[in-house]
Amino acid sequence: MTPIAVLRHAPLVRVVQFRALTIACSGGGAATASTVAVPPPAKKNKQDPCVLVGMSEPEFQQLALDFGQQKYRGKQLHNLVYKMKAKEIQDLIHVPQAFRTELMEAGWNVGRSPIYKSVTAADGTVKLLLKLDDDRLVETVGIPVDNIKGSPRLTACISSQVGCPLKCAFCATGKGGFSRNLKSHEIVEQVLAIEEVFKRRVTNVVFMGMGEPMLNLKEVLAAHRCLNKEIEIGQRMITISTVGVPNTIRRLATHKLQSTLALSLHAPNQKLRETIVPSAKSYPLDAIMEDCKHYFTETGRRVSFEYTLLAGINDSVDHAIELAQLLQKWGHSYHVNLIPFNHIEGSEFKRPYKKTVLAFSAALESRKITVSVRQTRGLDAKAACGQLRNEFQKTPLLEAVAEEVQEPELEMTAVAA
């Protein structure tokens, strides 16, 4: 049970004679009501701290009540965390200093990480490296699209893990190895960081950054809830991507989210797929297609198939025809998103020529498969699809390096095209 759940479910004994009430946050430990005038300082558990990011408004209200504050302080906290982007407890400027002090003493923090580095590509795409509590870095990307039918979009491409264990052949993240799953607040804070940098709201979220979301489904679902309910990003504006992890698509379908499932296919048959996505060995293509069909039946949301085009590997017209046949066999309401490979250092794969991409796309369209070719964004900032990687995936920042960034400044480095 989470500390928040403990706070919600454990009735607190209120002793009116004593004002001092300390709700200790001890990383999974029970909340306690202290009746001593000067409470002993509560220790924060660094492994599992109590954080505000991720909480709902009723939970903020309960937190305020538990600290002897009035209920409306909860609404203020909600606003300060999600709208005003407070980063530290001390930034919660609309609530009394005494309340802030008590929160800090009880081990609460906001749950925001400093921006370690920011790189801006010529097309306006911004890649951020956030420095997590344990000195690991996680990447997140903001992709602005202006004036599409008059409504500017800002897409956040967010990570669900530090690194990834699945080792897809073309993916920089997979090559860098796996470190750990992200907590839900570490997923949500990526969106807050992008809103802060762009000074506007994120309109779309895609779980297509570092990591396989289905290997961290519990935290991904908690983050999805927060993004939808607290940050008010429509479920239909959120896409959850996967290369396919057995049993998880059906599990996701039970939640009946109105979000798009993006299945990273990359090949039209099992044999070729296993060479590109090694984890495919444990999840046959037919089983994946059946589960995708089930997702559509349960949620009414179409499944999008991501297909990275690798020159000379999976990009021929014959491959396109085989892909069309596969999709037609399993139903309709499918969409194919073609992603011409983005170069990564040390990769044996090459990006296909434009005419190859167009021929592939035309072969699908002529067979009544809806298809789009993803516009490459952020290439010069190494923020394009498949390029997310950093050398700290496995190893935390060295202490000496970490010290340099204790007071991080948001450095926006323009990268030449």
Kindly list the residues in this chain that would bind ligand SF4 in the complex (CB under 6 A): 164, 166-168, 171, 173-174, 210-212, 243
Q: One-letter amino acid identity for 335?
A: H
Triad 231, 337, 282: Cα angle to 5°: 90
Closest to ligand SF4 by CB, 150 or 346? 346
Closest to ligand SF4 by CB, 68 or 174? 174
Q: Whose CB is nearest to ligand SF4?
A: 174
What minimum distance in Å lies between the beta carbon of 63 and ligand SF4? 35
Closest to ligand SF4 by CB, 108 or 170? 170
Give the single-character DSSP code of 160: S
User: 106-122 in b/e burial notation, b at 16+ Cβ within 10 A?
Assistant: bbbbbbbbbbbbbbbbe
What minimum distance in Å lies between the beta carbon of 262 and ligand SF4? 11
Active-site residue 157, yes or no?
A: no
What minimum distance in Å lies between the beta carbon of 238 and ligand SF4? 17
Residue of 25, 157, 164, 385 marked catalytic: 385
What minimum distance in Å lies between the beta carbon of 204 and ligand SF4? 19
User: Are 36 and 24 a contacting pair, CB within 8 Å?
Assistant: no
Which stretches of 67-207 are DSSP H helices? 72-82, 97-105, 172-175, 184-198
Structure tokens at 121: 């590509």
Which stretches of 210-341 are DSSP H helices? 217-229, 248-254, 270-276, 285-299, 317-330
Closest to ligand SF4 by CB, 3 or 211? 211
Active-site residue 139, yes or no?
A: yes
Closest to ligand SF4 by CB, 164 or 371? 164
What minimum distance in Å lies between the beta carbon of 118 and ligand SF4? 21
Cα(246)–Cα(291) distance, integer angstroms: 9
Residues contacting residue 350 through CB under 8 Å, at least 6 positions apart? 310, 311, 312, 341, 343
Residue of 105, 139, 189, 196 marked catalytic: 139
Residues noted as catalytic: 139, 385
